[in-house]
């Protein structure tokens, strides 16, 4: 049942993004993926199962996790004028993966 609830939340977000992308304020569709749906779940699970210290570490790492998303956005912004949409998205996704992997490696060293 818990997994079904998470899937329904994901489906609702996709539906809302689709609806908003067709409105006059289409740019708000870019804000919805940043709604902390999964962060809330992660913070609740870590906080209830591991304690405050681990929750604070998770929150701090989450702050650093914004960097890969920013790298994705910057690269996609630059690429959409240079490549067709799907290749631009794929390259930006690879940028996100590389920066995210770097963030994880740096975090593990500290």
The reported pLDDT for the residue numbered 35 is: 83
Q: Which two tokens stand for residue 106?
A: 């740096």
How far, in Å, CA of 67 to CA of 62, rounded? 10
Q: Could you report the per-residue pLDDT of 9-68, keeping only the tens digit for each?
A: 888 889 999 999 999 999 999 888 888 878 888 999 999 999 999 999 999 999 998 999
pLDDT at 85 > cutoff 90: yes
Q: Which two tokens stand for residue 90?
A: 């794929």
- Taking residues 84-99, report their average pLDDT: 98
The reported pLDDT for the residue numbered 49 is: 96
- Taking residues 87-100, report their average pLDDT: 97
DSSP assignment of the chain, as one string? -HHHHHHHHHHHHHHHHHHHTTSTTGGGGGTGGGS-HHHHHHHHHHHHHT-HHHHHHHHHHHHHTHHHHHHHHHHHHHHTTTS-HHHHHHHHHHHHHHHHHHHHHHHHH-
pLDDT at 2 > cutoff 90: no
Domain boundaries, the chain: 52-110
The reported pLDDT for the residue numbered 34 is: 84
The reported pLDDT for the residue numbered 74 is: 98
- Comparing C-alpha atoms, which of 5, 69, 76 is closest to residue 37? 5
């Amino acid at each position: 049942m818990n997994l079904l609830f998470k899937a329904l939340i994901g489906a609702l977000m996709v539906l809302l993004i689709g609806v908003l992308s067709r409105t006059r304020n289409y740019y708000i569709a870019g804000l919805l993926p940043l709604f902390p749906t999964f962060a809330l779940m992660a913070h609740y699970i870590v906080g209830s199962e591991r304690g405050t210290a681990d929750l604070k570490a998770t929150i701090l790492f989450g702050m650093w996790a914004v960097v890969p998303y920013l790298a994705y956005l910057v690269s996609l912004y630059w690429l959409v004028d240079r490549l067709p949409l799907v290749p631009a998205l794929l390259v930006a996704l690879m940028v996100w993966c590389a920066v995210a992997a770097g963030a994880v490696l740096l975090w593990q060293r500290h």
